[in-house]
């Protein structure tokens, strides 16, 4: 099915543009005339092409509104301008103060407005209308119009688990790329800092990045540095369309889906894929079946590639729980969302940390492993390694899972001489270190 935008690209006349929008918006009772499309709720000014500014289109539309006001006729609660590339929506009440003082010199007809009228209208309405680029935001526009008709308000689109990835991609295009001097791989953290903020307060304390304001403009703080926006227009337009913060019931879930926003090549390199909760459920049932119903009490659990901790959220005995992972940002997200708050959570690179030059394990190299875990390992206590490790193999193919960097870690280069080809598998590297470090541990790996 072709989209609104695709259909608009085939429009041959202004009439086509009107008809395409009428259909896409599902308008039922309307008339076409001087006011291009007129419904009880919205008046539309339409143009073919995309060259005429929204300001100019609104100026024409406001001429009719002024006319109606002068004649004491009914005016609609909303005004919209539409063309082949863009659309914009505004509440009529917001511009009434401008029309009431009757200072604007309108032209003979709506389309022959003098430049002064355009300037005066433009200076006033910029803060009120919400604009949508149709190629990227047609759904948001359609929704906003439908909700405006239903509720009498311009309601911003919600950020939900279903549109998180699309919203993030649009955020990168309109805001992320305008942030001066920031690395692409940090976009996801800055995105979360931005969306989890209501304009005054952040919804979570201690997120890895923070949104601040300087001279009334947004700035981002990450790892002790401040990052400013080169251009604030995209920021204004983006947040005119979306509502923030997201509904409270989604917030933690959205934060934990950072993996889904990490660029694909970095993600497959780190194996940053999330274990769906249904798989976690099935895994816990299986563990109860195999290890007995008291396994959460009897076993010390270590997940050394825990990401944001999905595998452990069902665990009910956090004091027996050790969770470590490669990215400090994941640990920070767990702290901010209070995931497994009572567990031991720490950054630890399982394939590089605490490995001596001759492939032995020496915890004093980083001192990151909690003493209680070291003791459990020393004493050969019952340990369950519960993990969903990264999978990637060194190869010659161009498949993004085949990364030259995979073997380049301390463990595979110092401790896996006798493992042949297996030494090039990330997954095997984890298993071999576990075998060396905790030879009596039980390993549990969920599989779909």
Q: Does the footprint of ligand SAM cover residue 227 (CB under 6 A)? A: no
User: Which region, judged by CB under 6 A, interacts with ligand SAM, from 167-175, 211-219, 346-354, 437-445?
Assistant: 346-354
CA dihedral 273, 278, 282, 288 (to 10 degrees): 100
Site for ligand SAM in 389-448 (CB under 6 A): 390
Which of 82, 441 has the CB closer to ligand SAM? 441
Q: Which stretch binds ligand SAM (CB under 6 A): 33-41, 120-128, 304-312, 413-421?
A: 304-312
Q: Which listed range, 63-71, 203-211, 267-275, 364-372, lies at the site for ligand SAM (CB under 6 A)?
A: 267-275
Which backbone phi and psi does 132 adopt, to 5 degrees?
Answer: -130, 130
CA nearest to 344, candidates 303, 375, 299, 378 = 303
Strand order in the sheet with 42-46: 37-38, 42-46, 78-82, 86-91, 130-133
User: Does position 351 bind ligand SAM by CB under 6 A?
Assistant: yes
Neighbour count for residue 23 (Cβ, 10 Å):
11
| CB neighbour list of residue 194: distance below 8 Å, 6 or more residues apart | 171, 175, 211, 218, 220, 244
Q: Under the criterion CB under 6 A, does residue 349 sit at the interface with ligand SAM?
A: yes
Stretch that binds ligand SAM, among 47-55, 104-112, 271-279, 392-400 (CB under 6 A): 271-279
Contact between residue 136 and residue 173 where contact means Cβ atoms under 8 Å apart = yes
Query: Please, what is the minimum distance in Å from the beta carbon of residue 223 to ligand SAM?
Result: 18
Q: Does 325 bind ligand SAM (CB under 6 A)?
A: yes
**Residue 218 touching ligand SAM (CB under 6 A):** no
208 near ligand SAM (CB under 6 A): no
144: DSSP letter: H
CA distance 332 to 324: 12
Interface of this chain with ligand SAM, residues 18 to 57, rule: CB under 6 A: none
Verify binding: residue 388, ligand SAM, rule CB under 6 A.
Answer: yes
187's tokens: 């976009």
Among 143, 158, 275, 414, binds ligand SAM (CB under 6 A): 275
Please pick, from the candidates 327, 393, 425, 437, the single residue that binds ligand SAM as defined by CB under 6 A: 327
Contacts 24+ apart (CB under 8 A), 201-207: 203/245, 203/248, 203/251, 204/251, 204/255, 204/336, 204/337, 205/336, 206/332, 206/335, 206/336, 207/255, 207/332, 207/333, 207/336
Task: Judge whether 351 and 433 are in contact, CB under 8 Å.
Answer: yes
Q: Which is nearer to ligand SAM, 22 or 445 (CB)?
A: 445
Cis peptide before 33 (omega within 30 of 0): no
Q: For strands 225-228 and 321-325, give the pairing.
A: unpaired
Complex with ligand SAM: residue 270 or 315, whichever CB lies closer: 270
Interacting residue with ligand SAM among 82, 117, 130, 272 (CB under 6 A):
272
Does residue 273 bind ligand SAM (CB under 6 A)? yes
Closer to ligand SAM at the Cβ: 55 or 348? 348
User: By CB under 6 A, is residue 305 in contact with ligand SAM?
Assistant: yes
- Name the residue nearer to ligand SAM (CB basis): 175 or 261: 261
Choices 205-213, 240-248, 299-307, 356-364; region in contact with ligand SAM by CB under 6 A: 299-307
Decide if residue 311 touches ligand SAM (CB under 6 A): yes
Residue nearest to ligand SAM (CB): 307
Q: Which stretch binds ligand SAM (CB under 6 A): 103-111, 148-156, 164-172, 302-310?
A: 302-310
The least distance separating ligand SAM from the CB of residue 327, rounded to whole angstroms, comes to 5
Are 403 and 390 spatial neighbours (Cβ–Cβ below 8 Å)?
no
Q: Which residues contact 7 (CB under 8 A, 6 or more apart)?
A: 20, 24
Express the helix, strand and coil content of the chain in percent, nearest 5 each. 45, 15, 40
Enumerate binding residues for ligand SAM (CB under 6 A): 270-275, 304-307, 310-311, 325-327, 330, 349-351, 388, 390
């Amino acid at each position: 099915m072709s989209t609104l935008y695709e259909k608009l690209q085939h429009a041959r006349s202004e009439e086509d543009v009107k008809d395409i929008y009428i259909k896409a918006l599902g308008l039922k009772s309307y008339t076409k005339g001087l006011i291009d499309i007129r419904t009880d709720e919205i008046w539309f000014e339409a143009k073919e092409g995309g060259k005429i500014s929204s300001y100019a289109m609104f100026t024409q539309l406001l001429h009719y509104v002024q006319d109606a006001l002068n004649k004491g006729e009914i005016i609609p609660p909303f005004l919209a301008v539409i063309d082949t590339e863009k659309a914009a929506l505004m509440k009529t009440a917001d511009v009434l103060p401008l029309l009431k003082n009757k200072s604007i010199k309108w032209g003979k007809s709506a389309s022959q407005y003098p430049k002064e009228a355009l300037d005066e209208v433009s200076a006033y309405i910029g803060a009120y209308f919400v604009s949508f680029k149709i190629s990227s935001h047609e759904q948001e526009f359609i929704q906003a119009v439908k909700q405006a008709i239903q509720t009498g308000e311009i309601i911003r689109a919600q950020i939900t688990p279903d549109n998180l990835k699309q919203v993030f991609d649009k955020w990168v295009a309109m805001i992320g790329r305008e942030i001066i001097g920031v690395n692409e791989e940090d976009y996801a953290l800055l995105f979360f800092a931005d969306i989890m903020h209501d304009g005054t307060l952040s919804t979570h304390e201690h997120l890895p990045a923070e949104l601040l304001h300087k001279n009334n403009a947004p700035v981002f703080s990450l790892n002790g540095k401040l990052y400013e926006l080169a251009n604030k227009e995209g920021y204004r337009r983006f947040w005119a369309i979306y509502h923030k913060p997201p509904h409270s019931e989604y917030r933690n879930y959205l934060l934990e889906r950072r993996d889904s926003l990490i660029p694909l090549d970095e993600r497959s390199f780190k194996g940053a894929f999330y274990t769906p909760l249904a798989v976690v459920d099935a895994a816990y049932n299986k563990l109860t079946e195999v290890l007995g119903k008291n396994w959460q009490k009897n076993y010390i659990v270590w997940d050394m590639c825990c990401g944001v901790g999905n595998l452990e959220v069902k665990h009910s005995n956090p004091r027996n729980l050790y969770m470590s992972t490669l990215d400090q940002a994941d640990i920070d997200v767990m702290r901010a969302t209070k995931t497994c708050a009572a567990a031991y959570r720490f950054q630890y690179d399982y394939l590089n940390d605490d490995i001596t030059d001759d492939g032995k394990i020496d915890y004093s190299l980083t001192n990151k492993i909690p003493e209680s875990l070291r003791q459990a390992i020393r004493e050969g206590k019952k340990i369950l390694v519960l993990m969903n490790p990264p999978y990637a193999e060194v190869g010659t193919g161009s498949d993004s899972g085949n990364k030259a960097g995979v073997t380049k870690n301390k463990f595979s280069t110092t401790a896996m001489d006798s493992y042949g080809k297996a030494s090039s598998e990330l997954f095997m590297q984890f298993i071999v270190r576990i075998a060396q470090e905790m030879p009596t541990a039980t390993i549990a790996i969920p599989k779909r």
